[in-house]
Amino acid sequence: MDQKVILITGASGGMGGAISTLFSTENVKLALQYNRNKVKLETCENVAHFQADLTDELQVSELIERVLLKFGRIDVLINNAGVSHSAMSWKTEASSWKETMAINLDAPFFLSKHVTPHFRAKKSGRIINITSVVAQTGFVGTAAYAASKAGLIGLTKTLSKELVSSGITVNALALGYFNVGMIEDVPADLQEQIIRTIPAGRLGDPKSVFKTIKWLVSDEGDYITGQTINLNGGLYS
Ligand SMILES: NC(=O)c1ccc[n+]([C@@H]2O[C@H](COP(=O)([O-])OP(=O)(O)OC[C@H]3O[C@@H](n4cnc5c(N)ncnc54)[C@H](OP(=O)(O)O)[C@@H]3O)[C@@H](O)[C@H]2O)c1
């Protein structure tokens, strides 16, 4: 991994925490963003923590500057921070809709926008956006979440076209249901129901997310851009 500097947002959460830990065994430097909760992976020479509310563009631009100050460069941005509030569309409050959009869609846009000048100057960079199968299939009670994650796929496609000539690739990973993070808020009986709908018959493991990102950010990944790669155990193809 050649001492790549990887900025992972939402590193205090289930998926962000799991992929941070997996990356920490590689030859990389990790800039781990959190907001309200602590990051479990401890700081060391190659691991630093950065607090930021990513819904605030100023905090995002300052975050990019702080990471550059600490590590001198950024090679990979993983837009992983996200929220999901369950409610039927007709009961979804405007505040909940706006918060979901702000974290799931505005924040990846702000981060991409503010890291791009650095990526363009060095003519390389990788952006990975974490989206969801729910954007592709819809799911009852997830209007704001599904819309925000579908927006992220559109953002991925446009950024890929704008940035590929500068040596920057932008891809999305559309995750099915995984055994960490948000799933912990889902009641056990609903989890069972969900698992029954997955052709693989089980929840996903963050290792597959880690390995897919590792491949996308490797030299072999330099011709792959604008793609939404599905990691969902056969739930949607
Ligand atoms: N787990 C799954 O099965 C699954 C499936 C499909 C897609 N995904 C996607 O995977 C990503 C990670 O999900 P997860 O399961 O790990 O969820 P999670 O455990 O709830 O973690 C969410 C993360 O987002 C951060 N965050 C929330 N609001 C923020 C804000 N305003 N500014 C900065 N950071 C903020 C949280 O930071 P703090 O806790 O520090 O506030 C936390 O680190 C999300 O984009 C989610 O949509 C997950």
103 lines ligand 1 (CB under 6 A): yes
- Is 236 inside a domain boundary? no
Task: List pLDDT tens digits, range 70-87.
Answer: 999 999 999 999 999 999
- How remote is the CA of residue 165 from the centroid of ligand 1, in Å? 31
User: What CATH number is associated with residue 202?
Assistant: 3.40.50.720
Q: Ligand 1, from 35, 85, 210, 213: best to mutate by most atoms within 8 Å of Cβ?
A: 35
Q: Which atom of ligand 1 is nearest to the CA of 182?
A: 15
Whole-prediction pTM value?
0.98
For residues 131 and 228, the answer to whether their CB atoms sit within 8 Å is yes
Q: What is the distance in angstroms between the CA of the first residue and the CA of the last residue of the chain?
A: 30
- Is 237 inside a domain boundary? no
**147-158 residues labelled b (16+ CB within 10 A) or e (exposed):** bbbbbbbebbbe
Task: List pLDDT tens digits, range 92-104.
Answer: 999 999 999 999 9
Cβ burial, residue 216 (10 Å; 0-12/13-18/19+): buried
145 is in which domain, residue-wise?
A: 4-231
Task: List pLDDT tens digits, range 3-60.
Answer: 999 999 999 999 999 999 999 999 999 999 999 999 999 999 999 999 999 999 999 9
Q: Give 113's pLDDT tier (boundaries 50, 70, 90).
A: very high
